[in-house]
């Protein structure tokens, strides 16, 4: 299907009017930047000479960062602990310009923190068991369905998104349809229903469908099965270097080859795809137009180091075939980091050379 470049530019121009409610597992991501030049003599571990640290909203918070960086108006809904990390996370979300009225503070939960450089350190409790807190999240989401242009469910399997919330969303959608998009996780494969768009990656799609995706035939079989199993209007399977495949009811499959020129880091690219699809659909775009924009957005962020976002002007530039200005984090996300540091000086980071990127490395894909 041929998608008009002018039409895509019009949709990007409407992002600033889209109100997105992002519900899911909010986390605080901490990044330690430095150089590894030797192994410790005391133990077989790298010695990291730290050159900088920062904190950013992670998990569903990274989806919020992506929505705001692209110009959309986001509200966050989830749960944090009654702790210092939760306060810093809420502060960072507000610094992005996001609404935090839907962020529930629970005395029975611990804010999930992810710290990584050469290794990753996770500070988290088992999946949330705060029934009252999750009900408050559910009630806020149900009240907000009519006030927002799109609802985004960012499931990181930490307990905020569960069968009760998903069933309530499906029932609300059946009564009065609204746009909602979902990034799924294994724990809830059996509970997703009636979403406007489901966005699994290839591994998640294969597991959810029970089909080993090896070629186009198995891909098509998996996509069709997920459409029926999840009763979804569409399923978008991200396939890494092979691009994306969009399945729609009665429309078969459309394949979108990747547009990435250089791949430095795939961290958070799925969140960028989710946010871009949500904004495009909320702006009145078709599923095909949303996929094209998301594909281009992903092609930009994988060329950046770190959990990156992109701005609307960067997305416009890549649509015109120009190489956008590389920035590790969108401007508003940088503001959030500065808010957390309270004026502390930070070393600026652009795209690193190959050798330096190998030294100043962060490991692991999407923090989950």
Residues with catalytic function = 271
Which residues share a beta bridge with 182?
A: 153, 198
Residue with tokens 């068991």: 129
The rounded distance, in Å, linking the Cα atoms of 366 and 360 is: 18
What are the distances in angstroms from CA 78 to CA 103, 133, 160, 255, 364? 5, 9, 6, 34, 24
| Token couple for 185 | 């996780």
| Token couple for 49 | 């000479």
Q: Where are the alpha helices (DSSP H) in 283-324?
A: 287-301, 312-319
The rounded distance, in Å, linking the Cα atoms of 114 and 124 is: 8
Residues 6+ apart with CB under 8 A from 322: none
Residues in the chain: 368
116-147: burial string, b at 16+ Cβ within 10 Å, e else: bbeeeeeeeeeebebeebbebbbebbeebbee
Helix (H, G, I), strand (E, B) or coil at 247: strand
Q: Check if the beta carbon of residue 233 is closer than 8 Å to that of residue 248.
A: yes
Q: Where does residue 221 rank: exposed (0-12), middle (13-18), buried (19+ CB within 10 A)?
A: middle
Crossing angle between the packed helical segments 331-341 and 60-69, to the nearest 10 degrees: 120
Residue with tokens 């909010």: 26
Helix (H, G, I), strand (E, B) or coil at 342: coil
């Amino acid at each position: 299907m041929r998608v008009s470049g002018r039409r895509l530019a019009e949709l990007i121009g409407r992002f600033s009017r889209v109100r997105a409610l992002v519900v899911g597992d909010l986390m605080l991501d901490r990044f330690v930047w430095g150089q590894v030049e030797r192994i410790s003599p005391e133990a077989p571990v790298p010695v990291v000479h730290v050159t900088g640290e920062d904190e950013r909203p992670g998990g569903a918070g990274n989806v919020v960062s992506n929505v705001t960086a692209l110009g959309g108006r986001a509200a966050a809904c989830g749960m944090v602990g009654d702790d210092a990390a939760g306060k810093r996370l809420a502060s960072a979300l507000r610094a992005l310009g996001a609404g935090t009225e839907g962020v529930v503070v629970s005395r029975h939960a611990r804010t999930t923190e992810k710290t990584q450089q050469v290794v990753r350190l996770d500070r988290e409790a088992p999946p949330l068991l705060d029934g009252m807190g999750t009900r408050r999240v559910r009630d806020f989401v149900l009240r907000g369905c009519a006030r927002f242009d799109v609802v985004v469910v960012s499931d990181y399997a930490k307990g905020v998104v569960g069968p009760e919330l998903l069933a309530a969303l499906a029932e609300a959608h059946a009564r009065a349809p609204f746009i909602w998009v979902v990034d799924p996780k294994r724990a809830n494969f059996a509970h997703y229903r009636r979403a406007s768009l489901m966005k699994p990656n290839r591994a998640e799609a294969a597991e959810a469908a029970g089909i080993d995706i090896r070629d186009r035939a198995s891909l098509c079989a998996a996509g069709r099965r997920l459409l029926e199993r999840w009763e979804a209007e569409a399923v978008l399977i991200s396939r890494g270097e092979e691009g994306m495949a969009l399945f729609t009811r009665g429309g078969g499959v459309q394949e979108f080859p990747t547009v990435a020129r250089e791949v430095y880091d795939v961290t958070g690219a799925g969140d960028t795809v989710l946010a871009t699809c949500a904004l495009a659909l909320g702006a009145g775009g078709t599923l095909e137009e949303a996929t094209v924009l998301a594909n281009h957005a992903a092609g930009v962020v994988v060329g950046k180091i770190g959990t990156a976002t992109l701005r609307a002007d960067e997305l416009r530039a890549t649509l015109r075939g120009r190489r956008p200005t590389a920035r590790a984090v969108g401007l508003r996300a940088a503001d959030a980091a500065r808010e957390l540091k309270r004026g502390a000086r930070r070393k600026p980071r652009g795209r690193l050379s190959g050798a330096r990127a190998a030294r100043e490395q962060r490991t692991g894909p999407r923090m989950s």
